[in-house]
Amino acid sequence: MKERINHLQKEIDLMTASNLDELEALRIKYLSKKGEISLLFNDFRNVPNEDKKEVGQLLNDLKNNAQNKINELKEHFDSLQNTTQENDLTRTAEPIKLGTRHPISLVREEIIDIFSRMGFTVADGPEIEDDWHVFSALNFAPEHPARDMQDTFFIERLPDVLLRTHTSSVQVRVMNEQKPPIRMIFPGRVYRNEAISYRAHCFFHQVEGLYIDKDISFADLKQALLYFAKELFGAETQIRLRPSYFPFTEPSAEMDISCFLCGGEGCPFCKHTGWVEILGCGMVDPNVLRSCGIDPEVYSGYAFGMGVERITNLKFQVKDLRMFSENDVKFLEQFESV
Ligand code: DAH
């Protein structure tokens, strides 16, 4: 028995394997249930009692040595496998780059996010519209210049069909279908027949807002817009409302924010006025409420509309509007995904 143990011990000392399969074969040979060392354990009961202590010790040592040797070799193969992975010449040299979100989408999402915190929900409407939703229901006089071919894309041979020039048309659709209270924003793409240049494009994006309920006042509008401006451009932002005219609101205003580059001091960016214009707004004209089947004696409301490109330009100082639709990767890459 002792001789057999010594013999196996030598074998194990010299044991090598050139791969994991060979190593597994060795483990089976020595350590599995029917392996050589296990068989010796089976024979142990035949060892004379006086030798049991010594042989038992030798047998245990043999088994431990075999197990340690096999573990050692396994570790060696494992580490080898890791290093070959690191040196894999077929792997791509650069990590794969993630795409970026379009700046217009980033800003649109931010606008939606701010208004949803004030309880506004989002609705959508068609880009191909008719005269009534885009103009008539919004109190545009029949001869209003915005209806002119110069500004609006009409569909040939279908004089009543046109591409919407603003998202205010969605107001009309929503007011036709729902009863107040209505507190919604309408993001979407709009079209105008403009010559394309660094400051004008034939399509762009707007977000329209509408809040109709009992007792809605101009003060409510002002508070909502102040909150919006501070959230979007920073807590120190101030707003100012200048009287203006839109057919669908009365009174109407345009909103400026204090220039965030110079803090209102005056700089080339704000043309030394300290203010930059960002949106149009006002109290919904009673004529519009009436066209949409809402009683202006009971309900009032405010509306506002802003250009997403304009706000994106302000936030990221993009100088040329055409960049937004050219899909130049060098431009888009600057807006890393978050
Ligand atoms: N629809 C206007 C435009 O395209 C923007 C606008 C101004 C929307 C005032 C409004 C508003 O809802 O109240 O220029």
Higher pLDDT, 76 or 204: 204
The best mutation among 129, 175, 246, 288 to test binding of ligand 1, ranked by most ligand atoms within 8 Å of the C-beta, falls on 246
Mean pLDDT on 65-75: 89
pLDDT at 82: 67
**Which of 58, 86, 114 is the C-terminal boundary of a domain?**
86
pLDDT of 338 reads 47
Ligand 1, atom 13, residue with closest C-alpha? 281
Q: Whose CA is nearest to atom 4 of ligand 1?
A: 166
Q: Which of the residue ranges 7-11, 19-23, 70-74, 184-188 has the most confident prediction, judged by mean pLDDT?
A: 184-188
Q: What's the pLDDT at 236?
A: 94
Closest to 282 measured CA to CA, from 225, 203, 205: 225
Are 76 and 198 part of one and the same domain? Answer: no
Residue 166 belongs to a domain: yes
Residues 6+ apart with CB under 8 A from 263: 236
Mean pLDDT of 84-107: 80
Q: Are residues 58 and 149 in the same domain?
A: no
Q: Which domain covers residue 40, as residue numbers?
A: 2-86
Average pLDDT of 138-158? 86
Mean pLDDT of 272-292: 96
pLDDT at 194: 92
Looking at the structure, do residues 20 and 65 belong to the same domain, yes or no?
Answer: yes
Burial readout 243-274 (b: 16 or more C-beta within 10 A, e: otherwise): eeebbbbeebbbbbbbbbeeebeeeeebeeeb
202 shares its domain with 53: no
Domain stop point among 60, 86, 112: 86
Query: In the beta sheet, which residues pair with residue 258?
Result: 275
Cα angle, residue 249 at apex, residues 213 and 192 outer, rounded to 5°: 120
Distance 208 CA to ligand 1 centre (A): 7
Tally of structural domains, the chain: 2
pLDDT above 50: residue 293: yes
Mean pLDDT for the stretch of residues 97-119:
94
What CATH number is attached to the domain comprising 133? 3.30.930.10
User: Does residue 225 share a domain with residue 280?
Assistant: yes
The model's pTM is 0.72
The verdict on 118 and 48 lying in the same domain is no
Whether residues 77 and 208 fall in one domain: no
- Residue 95, domain member (yes or no): no
Helix axes 36-43, 20-31, angle to 10 degrees: 10
Instruction: Round the average pLDDT of the chain to a whole number and report it.
Output: 91
Question: Mean pLDDT: which of 82-86, 154-158, 246-250, 264-268 is highest?
Answer: 246-250
- Report yes or no on 76 lying in a domain: yes
> What pLDDT shows up at residue 15?
85
| Predicted local distance difference test score (pLDDT) of residue 86 | 64
CA of 42 to the centre of ligand 1 (A): 94
Same domain, 136 and 263: yes
Give residue ranges with CB within 6 A of ligand 1.
166, 168, 208, 246, 249, 280-282, 303-305
Q: Which of 59, 86, 113 is the last residue of a domain?
A: 86
Domain identity same for 113 and 70? no
107 and 79 fall within a common domain: no
Please give the structure tokens belonging to residue 96: 């794969």
- The verdict on 294 and 251 lying in the same domain is yes
* Residue 92 resides in a domain: no
> Which phi-psi region, left, alpha or beta, contains residue 57 (left: φ > 0; alpha: ψ -120 to 50)?
alpha
Query: Which atom of ligand 1 is closest in space to residue 244's alpha carbon?
Result: 9
127 and 163 Cβ atoms separated by less than 8 Å: yes
Q: Using 50, 70 and 90 to split pLDDT, how confident is the model at 38?
A: confident
